[in-house]
Chain A
Amino acid sequence: MATSLAESKTPAATPGTAAPEAVVVRFAGDSGDGMQLTGGQFTLSTALAGNDLATFPDFPAEIRAPQGTLFGVSAFQINFGSTDITTAGDAPDVLVAMNPAALKTNVDALKPGGLIIADTGEFSKRNLDKAKYDASPLEDGSLSKWDVLAFDISAMTVEAVKPFELGNKDALRCKNMWTLGLALWMFDRDREPIAQWLRDKFKKNPVLADANIAALNAGHAYGETAELSGPLKKLHLDPTPTQPGLYRTITGAEAVSLGLVAGAKLAGLPMFFGGYPITPASAILHNLVRMKEFGVTTFQAEDEIAAICSAIGASYAGQLGVTSSSGPGLALKTEAMGLAVMTELPLVIVNSQRGGPSTGLPTKTEQSDLYQAVYGRNGDTPLPVVAARSPSDAFECAIEACRIAVQYMTPVILLTDGYIGNAAEPWKVPDPSGFEPFPIKFLESKNGDDQLLPYKRDERGVRPWIKPGTPGLMHRIGGIEKAIDTGDLDYSPSVHQTQTDARKAKVDGVANGIPPQDVCLGNEGGKLAVVGWGSTFGPIHQAVRRARAKGHDVSHIHVRHVWPLPGNLGDLLKSYEKVLVPEMNTGQFKTVLRDQFLVDAKPFNKVSGQPFTIAELESAIEAQLD
């Protein structure tokens, strides 16, 4: 997230001055320090305080990277405030660094004048060496452009939990709760929900619960005392004005899981989920396993291929087949997607994109599977693609993917990414009675003149869904080209031409059932349209908002239906003088837009494994307007 652009443009929300609209805090430590847990609980307390928020967990691919190393640093960033928040924030106002490596890898992102909280207990010679520091940065003046609050968190934690007689190792494990306690004090938060969570978590070991709560309280108490003398000041951010209703926090992986369950229910079908462990998609399998009572069957297959093939088998047998993976896994599923297109069976394929190619950046985010989703199969094999823009949007997108799959008898790819999957945001819990059902009808009797026609198409080009087990409708399907209506083997030239055209027309026709493309911020027509898809929504939206506030003629268009594209999108794009397409890839959607509409779409790309910052998009927009 490091960017010099942000630093020069946005003053830090210096603690001690009047409360800012939003604050960005980053917790960074060793991957064993429990930073994701700390961040998660801080997120919860932020949500309970009524602030809008967005988070960005950023952790290494290694499960237990060697302690104290630069590559073992795990970070969790949260942006929260009293206004609408759509990104995890550009540059942190506060950096909590639990060791030298965490400081080194994160400090450059911190705003000038921002606050560093560091645990001196971890700044030993050994740890400094591991972080490749020649001298302690806490003492050599190299941190002079920031406020530094350095004290021995380790020792204070050990002291706080002394009464519980834990070993030194276990005592030090409470460090993250001490730090969280301090953060709760800083932002005027209630400790009780966290204490309750600790009591639940350590139900079987109440001593650990008590020790952690003691550490939490000690960190909080430290804030009270330190306020008098140091740079530490208490900040209270008012709740974000927001629509009344019931709220919870939700991650993208949770939203996808819930959306799939809702989608299957709206279709009136049981759901079969075939999955294979892969980062960052496994969370969806873990979630669905706990939703069995909603007609969900989960199957951990022997590989990615078996995962999708079993899901297709389940769809063939009359359930809603779903599979999920990330880029490399999607590549393995490719051949089976072709079979689902060829046999015309419904299927939802969720791709939580990560950095590629090959194993690439397993725990980092990217949008580089767009080509793979839209084009990546052998033969002319079109299928619809829907992309989620945020954790909560993933819920609606999952329902939409289910709808298209069953209404058009086609596989549908739902694109999310590592950022959406892991990030959390507040979500207004929807009322399911407001969802429009799309119930499925299976064919129960012959649909021809005393003949079964499994591939007879309706006016939208869709064939009937026929479950094995239905008396009198025995028939055979497969991957070989099939005769019109009967579906019998037939690879004569005119048949392949007709069926290829029909499959394409069917998928193209999905565009007739989706809303026309809107402009989510700005005007129809004008100087510049910034066109995005997927998780770049947040930073693009904020960047366009800021540019517009400066008086620039720029609009934001966000595309959910990546394939087929909304029918009016071409004309809409042509109503602007310029089109800019920021993407976390080397320009894939830009190419699709150019190909489909012959517009001079300009790319703006980033593939660092980190989301765009608002500031870098803002400058890209201004460069177009110069």
Chain B
Amino acid sequence: MNEMTSIQTTLKDWETDQEVRWCPGCGDYAILKAVQRTLPAIGADPANTVFVSGIGCSSRFPYYVESYGFHTLHGRAPAFATGIKLANPELDIWLVTGDGDGMSIGGNHTMHLLRRNLNCQIMLFNNEIYGLTKGQYSPTSRVGTPSPSTPGGSVDRPASPCAFALGSGARFVARGYDISKKLPEVLQAAYEHKGAAFIEIFQNCIVYNKDRFDDFTAKPVADDNQIWLEDGEPLLFAKGTKGLAMDRDACCLKIVDVVDGDWQAAGVTVHDVKNRALAHMLIDLRVAPRFADFPMALGVIYDDPRPTYEEELLGQDAKSREGKDTDLGKLLAKGQTWTVEG
């Protein structure tokens, strides 16, 4: 986020005149709407907002938001964002990337952006597939994913974007999914976090990986297979009938039944967004095979701000400039000189 004067806008103000070129029914439409709802809610100024993306379906995003936008190179959006932010820290930067763009070709840049803690929002649309190149398996595809490049099923184990982010030193990690009504809330929380805010957004690629996340996003199973995290609130799901508690012997989370809403009696753990160890455990739920039967942890998993990269770097620069002479002539004549008389 950026501290700036709040501007009154509506969802319409954030729509461009460009024809949206995603496939009909693509989850990206829902994410676009969620973002266009969030921007007025946070009082963002279109002139001061920059959407930066890499390459891939998700990276077409900037063309559809009425703000400044830079559609860059495959995987490199974090590097462009770094230059933009250091050149003008007043700008509010949203980075749009995908599982191929951000975790494969651009994994290195994603890691360094997070570790440096550049103040921006990183939305990683995870559809577990390469869409724009027509359906190859991606670094987040599950083992056994059949695809044009893996007709016999993929054999390599998937990367977990949130675990990657946390391991890279991210100070804000959250999850949502395309059609979730709560997505704007998650985006707003990301915006309010000062520093690099990483949001993994599960996104339905209806052409190459249709309904991949139905096991926890479909209406009939959503309550039982999702857990929405709230700081300071107990880890409850299934309409409050179940909760997550610490299994002290195994040093991991376990599912407990909650009777009559008495979560304390059931020993349910209270969510603490500043607890990094807990964040690691929550990220693994439903993703790691050992916790496959657990609900998917959604919402703000971790949020523990630290000074931002641009504050520290530009602050150090400003300090080093103090009292220094800015006469170019003197700079050119620095060091040992001698005069040749005429």
Chain A residues close to B by CB (< 8 Å): 44, 47-48, 50, 193, 239, 242-249, 258, 261-262, 265, 270, 272, 274, 291-294, 297, 299, 301-303, 305-307, 309-319, 321, 335-336, 339, 343, 429-433, 467-480, 488-489
Contacts and interface: CB of A to CB of B under 8 A. Distances in A.
A258 B342 CA distance: 26
B112 interface: yes
Contacts of A245: 339-340
Contacts of A321: 83
A306 B112 contact: yes
15 contacts: A272-B87, A291-B331, A293-B326, A294-B331, A297-B313, A297-B314, A299-B82, A305-B109, A306-B79, A310-B83, A317-B88, A335-B73, A429-B333, A469-B88, A488-B18
Contacts of B313: 297, 299
A580 B303 CA distance: 67
Interface string B271-288: 000000000000000000
A138 to B, nearest CB: 37
B336 A314 contact: no
Contacts of A489: 18, 63
A243 B340 CA distance: 7
B72 A479 contact: yes
A263 B131 CA distance: 44
B71 A480 contact: yes
B184 interface: no
Contacts of A472: 47
Contact of B66 (A319, A431, A468, A474): A474
Given A293-B325, A469-B90, A474 B67 contact: yes
B133 interface: no
A244 B73 contact: no
B324 A474 contact: no
Contacts of A468: 47-48, 50, 68, 84, 88, 91
A248 B334 CA distance: 8
A306 B87 contact: no
Given A474-B46, A476-B63, A306 B332 contact: no
Given A474-B47, A476-B69, A310 B332 contact: no
Contact of A258 (B71, B332, B336): B332
B79 A310 contact: yes
Contacts of A239: 340
A44 B336 contact: yes
A293 B324 contact: yes
Contacts of A306: 76, 78-79, 82, 108-109, 112
A313 B329 contact: no
Contact of B336 (A193, A467, A480): A193
A272 B83 contact: yes
A473 B87 CA distance: 18
Interface residues of B, number: 58
B320 interface: yes
Contacts of B10: none
A478 B71 contact: yes
B333 to A, nearest CB: 5
Contacts of A262: 328, 332
Contact of A336 (B48, B66, B76, B81): B76
Nearest to A299: B86
Given A302-B108, A306-B79, 16 more contacts: A44-B336, A247-B338, A248-B334, A272-B86, A272-B87, A292-B321, A293-B320, A301-B112, A302-B112, A305-B76, A310-B83, A313-B80, A314-B87, A469-B68, A470-B47, A476-B71
A48 B79 CA distance: 45
A193 B80 CA distance: 47
B3 interface: no
A536 to B, nearest CB: 27
A248 B332 CA distance: 9
Nearest to B335: A248
B71 A314 contact: no
Contact of B73 (A311, A467, A475, A479): A479
A316 B70 contact: yes
A283 to B, nearest CB: 15
B260 interface: no
A305 B339 CA distance: 44
B332 A297 contact: no
Interface of B: 16, 18, 46-48, 50, 52, 55, 62-63, 66-73, 76, 78-88, 90-91, 108-109, 111-112, 313-314, 317, 320-321, 324-326, 328-329, 331-342
A258 B338 contact: no
A-B residue pairs, 8 tightest by C-beta: A313-B83, A478-B71, A244-B342, A310-B83, A309-B79, A476-B69, A468-B68, A317-B87
A238 to B, nearest CB: 13
B79 A430 contact: no
Contacts of B55: 479
B77 to A, nearest CB: 8
Contacts of B314: 297
B83 A432 contact: no
A399 to B, nearest CB: 11
A318 B87 contact: yes
A167 B76 CA distance: 53
Contacts of A475: 68-69
A246 B342 CA distance: 11
Given A305-B76, A312-B83, A50 B46 contact: no
Given A294-B326, A297-B87, A316-B80, A469 B73 contact: no
A432 B328 contact: yes
Contact of B332 (A316, A319, A432): A432
Contacts of B50: 468
Contacts of A47: 336, 338
A294 B328 contact: yes
A318 B89 CA distance: 12
A258 B88 contact: no
Contacts of A339: 72-73
Nearest to A426: B338
Contacts of A270: 87
B333 A248 contact: yes
Contacts of A249: 335-336
A472 B341 CA distance: 58
Nearest to A45: B336
Nearest to B76: A309
A50 B338 contact: yes
Contacts of A474: 46-47, 66-69
A314 B109 contact: no
The CB with the most chain A CB atoms within 10 A, among B47, B108, B320, is that of: B47
A516 to B, nearest CB: 29
Contacts of A258: 331-332
A468 B90 CA distance: 10
Contact of B70 (A293, A336, A431, A476): A476
B317 A292 contact: yes
Nearest to A245: B340
A315 B90 CA distance: 15
Contact of A314 (B86, B325, B328, B338): B86
Contacts of B335: 248-249
A429 B83 contact: no
Nearest to B327: A432
A317 B341 contact: no
A303 B67 CA distance: 29
Contacts of A316: 70, 80, 83-84
Nearest to B318: A292
Contacts of B332: 258, 262, 429-430, 432
A303 B62 CA distance: 25
Given A291-B331, A292-B320, A293-B324, A311 B336 contact: no
Contacts of A193: 336
Nearest to A488: B18
B114 to A, nearest CB: 11
Contacts of A336: 73, 76
A406 B5 CA distance: 32
Contacts of B83: 272, 274, 299, 309-317, 321
Contacts of B340: 50, 239, 242-245, 247
